[in-house]
Amino acid sequence: MTSARYVVVGAGLMGAATAWQLAGRGEEVVLVERDVPAGPRGSSHGSARIFRYAYADPFYAELVVRSEPWWARLERGAGRRLIDRVGGVDHGRGREPERLARVLEAAGVAHELLGPARARSRWPQLTVETSVLYQPGAGVLDARAAAEAMVELAVAAGAQLRTAWPVRGIARTGAGFTVSGPGGETLDAGHVVVAAGGHLPDLIGELPLPAAFLAGLPRLRVRQESAFHFPYRDPDRPWPTTIREDGGLPVYSLPGGRDAGFRGQKVAEYHGGRPLRSAAAQDGVVDPAHRARVVAHVRAHLPGLVPEPYAETTCLFTSTPDEEFVLDSAGGITVVSPCSGHGGKFAPLLGAMAADLATGATEATGAAGVPARFRPGTAARRRRG
Ligand SMILES: Cc1cc2nc3c(=O)[nH]c(=O)nc-3n(C[C@H](O)[C@H](O)[C@H](O)COP(=O)(O)OP(=O)(O)OC[C@H]3O[C@@H](n4cnc5c(N)ncnc54)[C@H](O)[C@@H]3O)c2cc1C
């Protein structure tokens, strides 16, 4: 049996970030993963996530700004670029570009608000009917490379990594926990961080957490999302990331990078996928009706792409009802669930916050602490006295 002060469950972006932060602070960490870091059955695989500042809620725009120095630190440590700043375009009535511009203005984030005619001449590969918010600092985040880099840095700082190590149970034993894995193996831990992505709905009820804390956590819903890669008509034209929202579900697109052989744009509906009970129910099968909707969108709104996908993938969204994150701790267990389809861009900062929660330090968060809105379990415990 191995013992460690901290066992982190899950090596997606969030578990990797937490392990990196803990190990970097000199803590003893074992990071366990049922598959491989940022594996194909989680939420962190692949080479493309949108890194953007444009949020209608100023809290999240400011959180992106706060995450910047953590990305810079990670890129320095990894010795490679993880965010490709291709710029970001937000448009459509539902996206409210003017409102986004006001939020970015207040947050001190570089941006431009363009009328539709100017936007059309700048990005002829898009159909544009409304004003456009452009963020030059937005871009494409290489999710798998970022997760792998954080795991490597954690291991370099002394963390142990166990792959193909599905956690079967977490039991309280004395002052700590026994974490059970495959083949009867166990780990002793002083504190457990659970960053299990879409598996969290199955695990959460089994965790030895206080009842009031558990009752306060929002319901986590898992969806199997699909994304499609479409070839560029003009391979030499640079593409930004895009989000268009016009009545129906928002549709986003971004240069697909490595996954797309660098020759196409990844396009997907936001929250358009099939609800699952948990990650255990995923089948990786793309719904043909979903594909047809995205192809129709490309035909109508992305004229710079050939409307025939040459590759496709599925991925898991694990969302709270209000798309907020969960980053909370009680009785020696920290629960980390920042997905809701938009958590990737904050990963190193959230890892630092999770490490703060686990250690009781304030290194990442300073006097402000982890935002109260990420801590529904703690709020519920307080309410119940
Ligand atoms: C299609 C898609 C598009 C997205 N687009 C964006 C975007 O544009 N911008 C953005 O900022 N964010 C985006 N996101 C969100 C971002 O990718 C997530 O916030 C992030 O990947 C969540 O990481 P995670 O570590 O919480 O989960 P995961 O990556 O799923 O990691 C959880 C890990 O835990 C492991 N695990 C589970 N149970 C156990 C167990 N019992 N024992 C051991 N290991 C276990 C799993 O195998 C997995 O590796 C997107 C997500 C998806 C799916």
- Nearest atom in ligand 1 to 37's CA: 49
Nearest CA to ligand 1 atom 5: 49
Check whether residue 301 and residue 371 sit in a common domain. no
Query: In angstroms, what is the span from residue 316 Cα to ligand 1's centroid?
Result: 7
Query: In angstroms, what is the span from residue 116 Cα to ligand 1's centroid?
Result: 35
pLDDT, residue 385, reads 63
Check whether residue 55 and residue 134 sit in a common domain. yes
pLDDT, residue 353, reads 96
Domain count, the chain: 2
- Nearest atom in ligand 1 to 13's CA: 25
Contact 259, 229 (CB under 8 A): yes
Tokens 């415990």 map to which residue? 381
Query: In angstroms, what is the span from residue 131 Cα to ligand 1's centroid?
Result: 33
Check whether residue 310 and residue 163 sit in a common domain. no
Check whether residue 225 and residue 312 sit in a common domain. yes
Within 6 A (CB) of ligand 1 lie 9-15, 32-35, 39, 42-44, 49-50, 143, 166-167, 195-199, 225, 227, 315-317, 338-339, 341-345
CATH number at residue 172: 3.50.50.60
Check whether residue 254 and residue 187 sit in a common domain. no
**What whole-number distance in Å separates Cα of residue 382 and Cα of residue 380?**
5
Alpha helices by DSSP H, listed for the chain, are 13-24, 58-78, 97-107, 116-122, 143-156, 200-204, 211-216, 288-301, 347-359, 376-383
pLDDT, residue 72, reads 98
Query: In angstroms, what is the span from residue 95 Cα to ligand 1's centroid?
Result: 25
Q: Which domain holds residue 236?
A: 49-141+221-319
Contact 168, 182 (CB under 8 A): yes
- Nearest atom in ligand 1 to 346's CA: 11
Mean pLDDT of successive 10-residue segments in the chain (385 residues)? 91 98 97 97 96 98 97 98 98 98 98 98 98 98 98 98 97 95 96 97 94 95 96 97 95 94 95 92 94 97 98 95 96 94 97 96 75 94 78
pLDDT, residue 368, reads 64
Check whether residue 226 and residue 313 sit in a common domain. yes
Q: Name which of 372, 385, 131, 83 is nearest 241 in CA terms.
A: 83
CATH number at residue 99: 3.30.9.10
Domain boundary among 319, 340, 360: 319
Check whether residue 209 and residue 191 sit in a common domain. yes
Query: In angstroms, what is the span from residue 12 Cα to ligand 1's centroid?
Result: 5
Query: In angstroms, what is the span from residue 41 Cα to ligand 1's centroid?
Result: 9
pLDDT, residue 364, reads 74
